[in-house]
Amino acid sequence: MSLNLSTAAVHTMTNKPWTLAQCCDAYARAGFGGISVWRNVIESIGIKEAARIVRGSGLKVPALVRGGFFPAFDSSIRQKAVDENKTCIDEAAAVGAEMVVLVVGAVVGMPLTEARKQVTEGISRCLEHAQANQIKLAIEPLHPMYAADRSCINRMKEARLVCEQLRSPYVGIACDVYHVWWDPDIETEIELAGQQGTLFGFHVCDWRPNTRDLLNDRGVMGEGCINIPHLRACVEKAGFKGLNEIEIFSTEKWALDQNVYLNEIAEAYKQFV
């Protein structure tokens, strides 16, 4: 049975050419249940106007994207990162988001073990502010091809280890199929996240064989090799009740008419998620 679009939220970055207002309008009209808001679409109009637009749309807001980037050799830069993450939390609260997604960061020349320590420390310093604003923080494990400079957390397991250290209802995991589909431990880790109450988010897109670019060549669901229904069954079995977030970066797709493209996404969601 195909899914109803009301179970899905679309990330604004999926339709990068659009403004926040265009995204809200199009997603609501198409029948999607929610929107996840990237900071770039807020920046140009300010958080007050962004909050007005998002709240006026009637869409649910799983996530503000993205905080993180905690590790740095210089402690003053780490402090700036914590401050910036607190601003993310404020913005998330303003638009009515459930969580801030964290791309945790990595630094060339710093061992990944040290970077993960600094990530844990950085998140811990945001926790009080997150709790005060009732905003969850979701660590997103990024594909190992981003381990050099974007994320020192590349599997669900390392995200879990941070969660187990911090033991807060405000720290959990955003599981994006693009990053974790290859992981032989994925089923086990999703189950554990369910048990530990840390499965905050579930993101879908697809992995294109012969991927042409490390950043912006994601496929629409069904265009690639990921068994998305299997992973969705895993997260649902683990108790996940949130919206399925559609997050696709694609230079090719951004060049299309975004209304036509959103239709394609809607059909793909119903058929392949």
Please tell me whether residue 233 binds its own copies under the rule CB under 8 A: no
Site residues (CB under 8 A) for its own copies, limited to 168-187: 181-184
Please tell me whether residue 229 binds its own copies under the rule CB under 8 A: no
Please tell me whether residue 211 binds its own copies under the rule CB under 8 A: yes
Contact partners, residue 263, CB within 8 Å, separation at least 6: 30
Please tell me whether residue 167 binds its own copies under the rule CB under 8 A: no
Please tell me whether residue 58 binds its own copies under the rule CB under 8 A: no
Contact partners, residue 209, CB within 8 Å, separation at least 6: 224, 225
HSE-up of residue 215 (Cα within 13 Å, Cβ side): 4
Which region, judged by CB under 8 A, interacts with its own copies, from 29-37, 162-170, 209-217, 249-257?
209-217
If the CB atoms of residues 96 and 222 are measured against its own copies, the closer one turns out to be 222
**Which listed residue (74, 75, 210, 260) binds its own copies by CB under 8 A?**
210
Please write down the long-range contacts of 210-214, taking CB distance under 8 Å and 24 or more positions apart: 213/251, 214/145, 214/146
Task: Let me know: does 8 contact 34? Beta carbons within 8 Å.
Answer: yes
**Which listed residue (29, 79, 80, 145) binds its own copies by CB under 8 A?**
145
**Which listed residue (77, 132, 214, 233) binds its own copies by CB under 8 A?**
214
User: CA geometry: angle at 227 spanning 226 and 231, to 5°?
Assistant: 110
Please tell me whether residue 143 binds its own copies under the rule CB under 8 A: yes
Name the region of 40 (left: φ>0; alpha: ψ -120 to 50; beta: rest). Answer: alpha
Q: Kindly list the residues in this chain that would bind its own copies in the complex (CB under 8 A).
A: 108-109, 111-113, 143-145, 147-149, 154-155, 157-158, 181-184, 207-212, 214, 224-225, 227
